[in-house]
Chains A and B, each alone.
Chain A
Amino acid sequence: MTVLFTCTGSTMATNGTKNGSTRPARGAAPRVTSTATKPAAKAATKVAPRATVKAAAKPAPKAAVRPAPRVTSKPSANGRSNGAHASGAKGSVRGTTATWTVKAGLAQMLKGGVIMDVVTAEQAEIAQEAGAVAVMALERVPADIRAAGGVARMSHVKKIKEIQAAVSIPVMAKARIGHFVEAQILEALGVDYIDESEVLTPADDVYHIDKNAFAVPYVCGCRNLGEALRRISEGAAMIRTKGEAGTGDIVEAVRHMRSLWSEIRRVQGMRDDELWTTAKDLQVSIDLLREVKRLGKLPVVNFSAGGVATPADAALMMQLGAEGVFVGSGIFKSAEDVTDKKRKLDQQRRMATAIVKAVTHFNDPKMLAAVSEEIPEEAMRGRSTATMPREELLAHRGS
């Protein structure tokens, strides 16, 4: 079975899903600021998306496996995500920042790309040079987090700043699940996306961060449709299936991607009364579930993460329906036995480049064969998840 990622609707489609998702802020209510640099009245009246797509895209009979979604416009009633954000003083005459469209929109721009975990500015440069669409800053790559044990936290601020200074592509960074102060710090640093990540040690075993309250967009992990939609209702503007980070074993990534899509396909076949019960089972809003039924996909961009170690792994996840991939330990834990530093970096660079190419041509076996020839002989050694005790697994964190 091949799930093609077909022409999906514009991000406008996602606006409807945000209806009614505003909730009272919890705990130490993160600040929601509002300053419109434009004449206030004009900006305020213009934030809601106008008009609808007049005609639905009709794919040619054999062109696509899923029908292109009809994009209807619901008024974007989510006051918060359309609220203006106090941005830095740069530029004076602009529009409205931090809208849902610009948050989810950056993820749209990353599609068909590879986001690479990096620890240092040097690795970030290698990633950019190899064609990564973004880098994820973290203290250690997941394989090292596993090896080191202890508590894994947000990366050091100095490291993040060095990485930001080193590259022009977007810089993402991980915060612990529920640690909204780490997130506030990352937002203050101007990272482009925050990953509220199960790879770090959770800071809160009950609540996730109220992501709607931030101007910076979030990406979150999921194992299935319920987790994905709960994160989206909390404000995640991008989803990644979790996989099992730091193992180099693709089996969990495959399991999660297959679960997600099979549930989406099931939802597509549901009657309205069935949708109600499913919404209750999944603990998600009926509006969000209806949106999934209508679109035939998640209302935000979905990448694959956790276990990609080769170009073939990356292409596998793309063919299973990922819109792009995160690669963590797969690059900078390859060529581990190479002692010469220059040679090691060169091999890691080759692996990174090959994975980028494989994601572009994920459906072209000849191209994949050519790309796979370019990689170093020693991929990440990895560790089979089947033999790991449950307490070492990360994916069940933050459901």
Chain B
Amino acid sequence: MPRASRTAVAATPAHADVRIGVLALQGDFAEHLVALQVLGVEAVEVRTLEQLRGVDGLIIPGGESTTIARLLIAFDLLEPLRDLISKGLPVWGTCAGAILLAKHVPNLDRPPLAVMDITVERNAFGRQVDSFEADLDIAGIEGEPVRAVFIRAPIIRRAGRGVQVLAALEDGTIVAAREGRLLATSFHPELTDDRRMHGLFVQMVADATARARRGARQ
């Protein structure tokens, strides 16, 4: 029985025509798919170029950044993805995903996508025993702070001029940022049951899609 690559649910009217892909080469993509489904968004696994071309937005999940980077190259997805991003595809990278988006990553031997003007330092807090949870206030998210899970997490060492810092730890370490249609978080919103961060990205995708469709009509 072939694996079903589309796991859609009845979409709510607000996001009825938005389809969001989750890069499913490696990592915790299943958790992202669940989160999107809970929000009533059509969510699809992306492993091939064809699948990639069919989405309005993409999440690069947590996982091992070196592994995901190598698989992007091995399956000839890296250049097409960079091309789509340059044409305005909204992308959110969590943890490993944030590393892949960054223009500058000290000590990374393979060039990642290099599309977002941030410097990301890998394993910045140390080894697994230093992984932690913390409460975080995030710009654009109302109400209680978000419980953020950091697992061998990277940090955003520097944010470029066009980059909006969305969240920082109490010592000022940047852990969430946005540049245009690109979103990077060093923690894992998909590992908790709080869907507000996913809601924020869905809204970004919905806005970008609406704008693109308006532009196409004119």
Contact = CB atoms under 8 A, between A and B. Distances in A.
B34 interface: yes
A190 interface: yes
B129 A216 contact: yes
Interface centre among A58, A187, A216 (most CB of B within 10 A): A58
B130 A168 contact: no
A109 interface: yes
Size range of the chain A interface in the assembly: 35 or more
B200 interface: no
Interface residues of B, number: 66
Contacts of A38: 134, 170
B8 A97 contact: no
A47 interface: yes
B30 A7 contact: yes
Interface stretch (B58-66, B111-119, B157-165): B58-66
B35 to A, nearest CB: 8
Given A5-B30, A59-B9, A361-B47, A169 B149 contact: no
Contacts of B66: 128, 131, 168-169
A169 to B, nearest CB: 6
Nearest to A11: B191
A90 interface: yes
A254 to B, nearest CB: 18
Interface stretch (A48-56, A150-158, A263-271): A48-56
B147 interface: yes
A208 interface: no
A111 B160 CA distance: 32
B179 interface: no
Given A50-B147, A131-B70, A57 B34 contact: yes
Contacts of A94: 125, 132, 134, 169
A2 B129 contact: no
B62 A108 contact: yes
Contacts of B129: 85, 87-88, 97-98, 187, 190, 215-216
A132 interface: yes
B7 to A, nearest CB: 4
B55 interface: no
Given A87-B129, A97-B131, A10 B63 contact: no
Interface in A346-389: 353, 356-357, 359-361, 363-364
B149 A93 contact: no
A141 B95 CA distance: 32
B193 A10 contact: yes
B149 A101 contact: yes
B1 A2 contact: yes
Give the interface SS of chain B, mostly helix, strand, loop or mixed: loop
Interface string A67-80: 01001010000000
A86 B166 CA distance: 29
A92 interface: yes
Contacts of B149: 101-102, 105
Interface string B167-180: 00111010000000
Contacts of A112: 24-27, 29, 63
B196 to A, nearest CB: 11
A159 B195 CA distance: 43
Interface string B118-144: 000011011111111111000000001
Contact of B130 (A56, A97, A105, A134): A97
A10 B125 contact: no
A354 to B, nearest CB: 10
B194 interface: yes
A168 B129 CA distance: 15
A88 B126 contact: yes
B132 A109 contact: no
Contacts of A170: 64, 128, 152
A217 B151 CA distance: 12
A4 interface: yes
A9 B151 contact: no
B150 to A, nearest CB: 8
B16 interface: no
B207 interface: no
A251 interface: no
Given A102-B132, A170-B128, A59 B37 contact: yes
Contacts of B1: 2, 4, 65
B9 A57 contact: yes
Interface centre among B47, B67, B75 (most CB of A within 10 A): B67
27 contacts: A4-B1, A10-B190, A50-B144, A50-B194, A57-B38, A60-B7, A62-B4, A68-B34, A68-B37, A73-B193, A87-B132, A88-B130, A90-B125, A94-B134, A95-B135, A97-B131, A102-B128, A105-B151, A105-B191, A106-B151, A109-B27, A132-B67, A168-B123, A170-B64, A191-B128, A357-B74, A360-B26
Given A112-B27, A356-B71, 10 more contacts: A6-B7, A50-B147, A58-B10, A87-B132, A90-B130, A105-B191, A106-B151, A109-B95, A134-B64, A169-B64
Interface of A: 2, 4-12, 38, 42, 46-47, 49-60, 62-65, 68, 71, 73, 85, 87-88, 90-99, 101-102, 105-106, 108-113, 128-134, 168-170, 187, 190-193, 215-217, 353, 356-357, 359-361, 363-364
Q: 4 closest pairs, A vs B, by CB?
A: A95-B134, A192-B128, A93-B170, A363-B3
Interface of B: 1-4, 6-10, 24-31, 33-35, 37-38, 47, 62-64, 66-67, 70-71, 74-75, 95-96, 107, 122-123, 125-135, 144, 147-152, 169-171, 173, 188, 190-195
